[in-house]
Amino acid sequence: MKIATWNINSVRIRLEQVIDWLKQNPVDVLCLQETKVIDADFPRSLFEELGYHLYLSGQKSYNGVALISRKQLVDVTTGFTAILSDQLLEWDEQKRVITGVIDGIRIVNLYVPNGAAVGTEKYAYKLRWLKVLREYLKCLLLSQPDICVCGDFNIALEAKDIHDQVSPDNHIMASELERQALRDILAMGFADAFRKFTTEGGHYSWWDYRAAAFRRNLGWRIDHHYLTPALYERAKSCIIDATPRKLTQPSDHAPVILELEDK
């Protein structure tokens, strides 16, 4: 089974590129982030013509996540409050969470808040959001041991996940508090699928649009698949496909593809 994650920065702008990629990479599940469209306006038809089922949680202008699956998913829910208490309703105003189960595997598709800059209100929101995410995943783990949490985390955990022309100290996406918040989540029993196969640095999933960052390979690895132990054992490969980043008018992120051994 192949599970891909891709922040496409507007599904309407990127529709042709995503469909072309999906034709060449017929993954079982494609997790999209930053779809930037309400569900009623999501361009469904080209995906459905390829035989995919769509599960959406979108909003106007910002954020938005989608699960695009070859097989029908079960137990699909959106947001934190479907799993946690309704007292957290404010956390679902921004559409950043969708989950569903395929072949006994729960896939959680996330768009973690960016956080703007360390010390801002958005940074504080990111840290609080990660705390809620931890409770959410803790809840899911009670009923399902096999979980793949993937998406745009907006966090690079190690120096080797970041090009060397940036000083990570207190940089957004690399600051100690957000890294610790992510480590606190992983400590519940998740491991980075990419690092099962690739230990060296220099592999990135996001390059700034500005300053010709892609051409100079000034990137960050911030798009991840985190797996519970049995799934981690089943992981056969985890590849960043930089090809779409080379196209004209690309997303600033590249897709990342996880392959799991069939059971």
Residues that bind DNA (CB under 7 A): 7, 9-10, 12-14, 34, 36, 60-62, 113-117, 122, 152, 154, 172-173, 206, 208-211, 220, 222, 249, 252
Instruction: Output 85 or 167, the one with its CB closest to DNA.
Output: 167
Which of 260, 257, 262 lies closest to 24 in space, CA to CA? 257
Helix (H, G, I), strand (E, B) or coil at 224: strand
Euclidean distance between CA atoms 54 and 30, whole angstroms: 10
Residue 249 C-beta: closest distance to DNA, Å: 5
Rounded distance, CA 237 to CA 70, Å? 20
169 is catalytic: no
Backbone φ and ψ for 252, nearest 5 degrees, come out as -80, -10
How many residues does this entry show for the chain? 263
Shortest Å distance, C-beta 225 to DNA: 17
Nearer to DNA, 199 or 249 (CB): 249
Task: Report in angstroms how near the CB of residue 3 gets to DNA at its nearest.
Answer: 20
Known binding residues are 7, 34, 152, 154, 252-253
Between 113 and 244, name the residue whose CB sits nearer to DNA: 113
As a whole number of angstroms, the distance between CA 203 and CA 217 comes to: 9
Choosing from 28, 146, 152, 161, which is the catalytic residue?
152
- Name the catalytic one among 52, 55, 111, 136: 111
Catalytic residue at 208? no
Q: Are 5 and 152 in contact (CB under 8 A)?
A: yes
Q: Which residues are catalytic?
A: 111, 152, 253
